[in-house]
Structure 1
Amino acid sequence: MLTRINKYIIEEKILNGRDQGKTVREKILTFLEKEPIDIILPISYEKVDFMDYSFTDEMLCKLIRRIMSGELGERYVVVESLNESLKENIDVALRERELCCVYATGESKNEILGKLSTPLRETYEYAIEQKKITTRDIFGVKKFKLENISAASNRLTRLEKLGLLHNNKDEVVGGGGRQFVFEAIR
């Protein structure tokens, strides 16, 4: 099970350029690497007034790529405390790189920023509702229109690789065999 740790607050009011993006990314990476696995780190923009595209690309997009590569183990990030300008900037940068990230709005529903297909978005939202899901769970949902169990498995694996689902554990199923249990990053 994932643990949400205390947020990392970006202290600077103005975030611009690749050099500053690299500096902040390295601070966050150092912080993440000291934490145990199976964590979610909220990155808070509560003190930020302005952020340019270059900073976002250098800091957040590269950080998400490192998470997607598996290099950081089972460590994840979400963004929070975004004003509309920051939210739009992050969304555009992530879309440009064909990445996505969870925006923890502080309300009951999270948003996905960046590029994510409708079927993957719907599956992620279903995972949020259910708390934990398996391939068999989503295969049985008619609105997903999955032709076979492999298609369901591929969908969950894709969400895991995007850093939106965590493969929590595997469990034995009746009649033999094992199935993976996924938990949504939120």
Structure 2
Amino acid sequence: DVTLARGLNYYTGAIFEVAPPAEISMGSIGGGGRYDDLTGIFGLKDMSGIGISFGLDRIYLVMEELGLFPDNIGRALDVLFLNFGEQEAMASLKLIGKLRKEDVKVDIYPDSSKMQKQMKYANKRNVPFIVIIGDRELADNSFVVKNMSKGDQKTYDFEDVKGFLEDLKLFLN
């Protein structure tokens, strides 16, 4: 297209632009071309080349408009363990290790903060399940799992990780 104009001060040969699909009304999502001696301004004389760049934000917008992102892309975690202190965190880490061996995407909140702050974080990250291990659960050798979309919760024994995994896999599949 002879009407293209790109970097007139340094492109010396063919130039090109990458357009989105025709149904998307947006300018180019990438472009580039040939340049002779562009590197001369950086002290490297007589070196020609070809360059290309893509607009990540524009590619993202095109993918979003075409619905190309999977539904669960916003969810990097399946389960978030809330953190209520050192003892609770240590008990959580034992369960986290077992869940990770089963390929469950799981993490623990980084510090012992107020429950409201941790719940807000879980909601922001779109985490479907949280695990609560507090004083009572430590004493009972149990943990509470809350389904964030339904709002209900269930208590499991520390020895019943398989039961939790079965319930979790039913929900995630």
In which range does the TM-score fall when normalised by the shorter chain?
under 0.3
Largest Rg, 1 or 2: 2
TM-score (norm 2): 0.27
| TM-score computed with the length of structure 1 as normaliser | 0.25
